[in-house]
Amino acid sequence: MTSTVFAGETSSSSDSDNQHILEFWGYHAYMGTETYSDTLLLRYYQPLEFDQWRGTLRLDTSNVSVYSHSPSESGIDHHGAGTTFLTAWGTIANFNQSWSSSAGGRVILPVALSNQWVAGPQIGASYKPPLGTQTWLADFSPLTRYMYGFDVQNNTGPGNPSPSPAVRRLELYPTVGIQLTPNTQIRFWDENGINYNAAAGGWFVPLDAMVTHRVNRHFLFAVGASKQVVETYQQYKWMVYSKVSFNF
């Protein structure tokens, strides 16, 4: 569960190439059958630079509480470390003033709730209207990632009652940012995207929206919500979340 819920390239990531960004996230999700998940997540962006190349390294690590209000699910109770993963990407081409493309990858470490190494490549693009253009569109930033699990361990326990099979997952983020005011955006499919289970089949398609507001050049906060629409690949039923973000 936690290896897929927090898989997005957040709204800060498109602007993080030359900035250090520290973010604190909180998530509350309903998983079904009276089971809930609360997560506190720390996310950090580190700029990368080599000659003319620019990129970003991102670290995510979390603490998760999984619990149930149903007597039939009384065995579900986990409080402790969640998923930890590293993501790196960099610009591979700037086609013009508005269009650019990037490539990179993600590695999920086999710790806590993750019972396997998971790694995969990603490729993305970004369109931003030229400066001075009067438009509601802030950006269109689609991203595709394929995650491949290996070296699966049997780490069953209270928070993971049955061993998970090797991950084979396609992740799609058709991210769109809409400019509401000069400092406020609403962003769709930014934090939670569309997943396809390539191992067993099945899609998870949520409606995900997040409102971000920049208070000043160093501080931004956001609130969001996500609701499953198609769930032949089970993830969560609904989720609410928020973040505070510091640029320095």
* Length of the chain counted residue by residue: 248
Q: What is the pLDDT of residue 50?
A: 86
Tell me the one-letter amino acid at 245: S
Q: What are phi and psi of 68, to 5 degrees?
A: -130, 145
pLDDT, tens only, 136-151: 999 999 999 999 999 8
Q: Which domain holds residue 79?
A: 2-247
User: Into how many domains does the chain fold?
Assistant: 1
What pLDDT digit, counting tens, does each position of 174-227 carry?
999 999 999 999 999 999 999 999 999 999 999 999 999 999 999 999 999 999
Note the pTM of the prediction, 2 decimals: 0.87
Instruction: List the CATH number of the domain containing 221.
Output: 2.40.160.40
3-class secondary structure, 73: helix
- For the cut 70, the answer to whether the pLDDT of residue 157 exceeds it is no
The tokens describing 23, both together, are 């973010």
Query: According to the model, what pLDDT value does residue 77 have?
Result: 75
The secondary structure of residue 111, as a DSSP letter, is -
What is the pLDDT averaged over residues 23-35? 95
Which pLDDT score, from 0 to 100, does residue 114 have? 75
Task: Tell which wins on pLDDT, 2 or 148.
Answer: 148
Cα 211 to Cα 36, 115, 121, 206: the distances in Å are 23, 34, 28, 16
Distances (CA, A) of 109 to 84, 113, 166, 198, 209: 6, 10, 14, 20, 28
For 113-130, what is the HEC assignment? CCCCEEEEEEEEEEECCC
Supply the pLDDT for residue 78: 75
Residue-averaged pLDDT of the chain: 88
